Amino acid sequence: MKFAIFGNTYQAKKSAHIETLFRLLKELDSEVYICKDFYRFLTTESKLTINANGLFEGDDFDADMVISIGGDGTFLKAANRVGKKNIPILGINTGRLGFLADIAPEEIETTIIDIHRNHYKIEERSVLELECDDKRLQMRPYALNEIAILKRDSSSMITIHTAINDHYLTTYQADGLIISTPTGSTAYSLSVGGPIIVPQSNTIAITPVAPHSLNMRPIVIRDDWEITLEVESRSHHFLVAIDGRSETCKESNRLAIRKADYTIKVVKRYEQDFFSTLRNKMMWGADGRR
């Protein structure tokens, strides 16, 4: 198999696990191509000797599978680079929580062997697309987790006029609004009171951030509906964050958010399922009285 590898360049202490991965890939006669920045980090900062078939920059690569080494942030960056290439992504977690990058370092050997034996499953995850006149946002308008509209340069709330399929929904007065996929429902959206959504539910969650009114609650809609937003701000600017990549936007910009025309394919072990991940990663449903 041919692998393209991305990694977090701030985790030198995980080098032993990385060495294990590259040793296994070599033993299985895999072709290995590494993101140039990550390769430089491994050889210069971590002092590792890495035998690779080649290096690549940006999204100039092709492979049978992508391996992301780091946390969920690294996985999101890899997914953004993969885009419409239709290449499945395996996330090895050397970060903290790891919902997307959910292969623990001690599972690397068994996971790579299972992949070599074609014993794994692939989950398709929906992606959001932002349409906006701002050219900076047009460069990479896709989000696997969420698109967040947030206040900027002011303690005052922003006003977000929201419509669904051109039908008026409501006007949010809040610090922001998060539009999330089911994948992103356990990320930023969850931290501000959004619902946990099963990945294959074909839905989008709309969750306000610190709304001024107590009766403004999260709402879940179909993912084939389009959301349009018009923002007012005292500073006449606001932030648009696409999977954490933020840009300042003028309030005159009208935003349209819809499901993208492609999915991200996530590699999972057969033993993994969404509910066990919730229990293990979040202690979901745990009874503290025991």
DSSP string computed for 147-189: EEEE--SSSS-EEEEEEETTEEEEEEEESEEEEE-TGGGGTHH
Start-to-end C-alpha separation, the chain: 47
- State the Cα–Cα distance between residues 192 and 110, nearest whole angstrom: 37
Instruction: Determine whether 60 is an active site residue.
Output: no
Catalytic one of 29, 64, 72, 133: 72
Provide the CA 181 distance to its chain's centre, in angstroms: 10
Helix (H, G, I), strand (E, B) or coil at 117: coil
Q: Show Cβ contacts of residue 230 under 8 Å, excluding neighbours closer than 6 positions.
A: 160, 161, 254, 255
For residue 33, the one-letter residue type is Y
Helix (H, G, I), strand (E, B) or coil at 4: strand
In this structure, which amino acid lies at residue 271? Answer: E
**Catalytic positions:** 72
